[in-house]
């Protein structure tokens, strides 16, 4: 394995890539924004020849690095295939040569991106004087392939710049990630939208709802009375048993493929009751299960304070 850490940041325009790369720079990464993907191997080679002075590298690769940008977007290869194929080939070549490539993909919901462009009065790079909405749609389509290659997807819709910076710093300051995995358990409410960063998405709206129990409706899922109500049902117990078997089956397979982050999202209607209970119970089960010392577990209740 080469003695250099490479974090490649990609994602949608307006999703926070500039904030992310500045955060890496603050913790000692040598960073380059908008480096054409075809120049990445030469850049990495030069960094390695620095005699150890450059051991951590952060690079932003996005739609601006495509061969067709900013030329006629509609006549370019469908789905941004040039960018995708070049990215896949170059990243795989670097990995075969022993470079530990980590890919972070940043995105946000379309209405959030629209608002950010409106507030900053910037033009979307693919709008070219036209519709921002169409530019977002086209960019999301063209970057889908690189998103599927990502080790972690970060949805910045509900994050301000300070929260995003903290998230990037937390990621960057962890020790060597080789052989390690972070399991993120996330509860959410479908009323507030599906989390884009989810790898596995579980819908628990079929479970009996404490909201319709007068003494429970104003409590949260981390209250023992709500947890007791949700966990008492046979369908809850059977769902948890099958879900736990599924997760235990998947974890070693993901680890074998070098996946460093796994986000399991559990949703109910409002994100305050059933999904919180299930996520907290899964967290307990994971903590009770013997795991590699390099495995990290995080729990977040995205919509617990809403509604």
Band (65; pLDDT cuts 50, 70, 90): low
117 Cβ contact partners less than 8 Å away, ≥ 6 residues apart: 14, 123, 124, 132
Report angle CA 11, 73, 69 to the nearest 5 degrees: 60
Which residues make beta-bridge pairs with 58? 7, 31
Nearest CA among 156, 136, 119, 126 for reference residue 23: 156
> Is 66 or 180 the better-scoring residue by pLDDT?
180
Burial class (CB in 10 A: 0-12, 13-18, 19+), 16: buried
Band (180; pLDDT cuts 50, 70, 90): low
Domains and CATH numbers, the chain: 5-178 (3.40.50.300), 182-301 (no CATH)
258 Cβ contact partners less than 8 Å away, ≥ 6 residues apart: 151
The arithmetic mean of pLDDT across residues 58-74, rounded, is 61
The answer, yes or no, to whether residue 75 has pLDDT greater than 60, is: no
**Quick one: pLDDT at residue 307?**
63
């Amino acid at each position: 394995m080469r003695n250099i850490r490479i974090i490649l940041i990609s994602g949608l325009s307006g999703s926070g890539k500039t904030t992310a790369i500045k955060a890496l720079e603050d913790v000692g990464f040598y960073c380059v924004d908008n480096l054409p993907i075809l120049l990445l191997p030469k850049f990495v080679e030069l960094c390695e020849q620095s005699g150890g002075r450059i051991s951590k590298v952060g690079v932003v690769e996005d739609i601006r690095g495509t061969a067709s940008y900013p030329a006629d977007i509609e006549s370019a290869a469908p789905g941004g295939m040039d960018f995708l194929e070049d990215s896949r080939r170059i990243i795989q070549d670097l990995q075969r040569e022993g470079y530990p490539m980590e890919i972070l993909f940043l995105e946000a919901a379309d209405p959030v991106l629209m608002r950010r462009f409106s507030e900053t009065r910037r033009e979307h790079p693919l709008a070219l004087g036209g519709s921002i909405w169409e530019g977002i749609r086209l960019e999301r389509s063209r970057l889908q392939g690189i998103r599927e290659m990502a080790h972690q997807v970060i949805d910045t819709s509900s994050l301000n710049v300070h929260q995003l910076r903290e998230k990037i710093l937390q990621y960057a300051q962890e020790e060597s990630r080789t052989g390690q995995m972070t399991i993120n358990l996330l509860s959410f409410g479908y009323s507030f939208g599906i989390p884009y960063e989810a790898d596995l998405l579980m819908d628990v709206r079929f479970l009996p709802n404490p909201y319709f129990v007068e003494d429970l409706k104003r409590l949260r899922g981390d209250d023992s009375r709500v947890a007791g109500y949700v966990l008492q049902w046979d369908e809850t117990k059977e769902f948890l048993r099958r879900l736990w078997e599924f997760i235990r089956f998947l974890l070693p397979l993901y680890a074998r493929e070098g996946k460093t982050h796994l986000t399991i999202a559990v949703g109910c209607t409002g994100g305050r009751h059933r999904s919180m209970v299930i996520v907290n119970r899964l967290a307990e089960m994971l903590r009770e299960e013997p795991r590699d010392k390099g495995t990290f577990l995080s729990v977040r209740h995205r919509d617990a304070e809403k509604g």
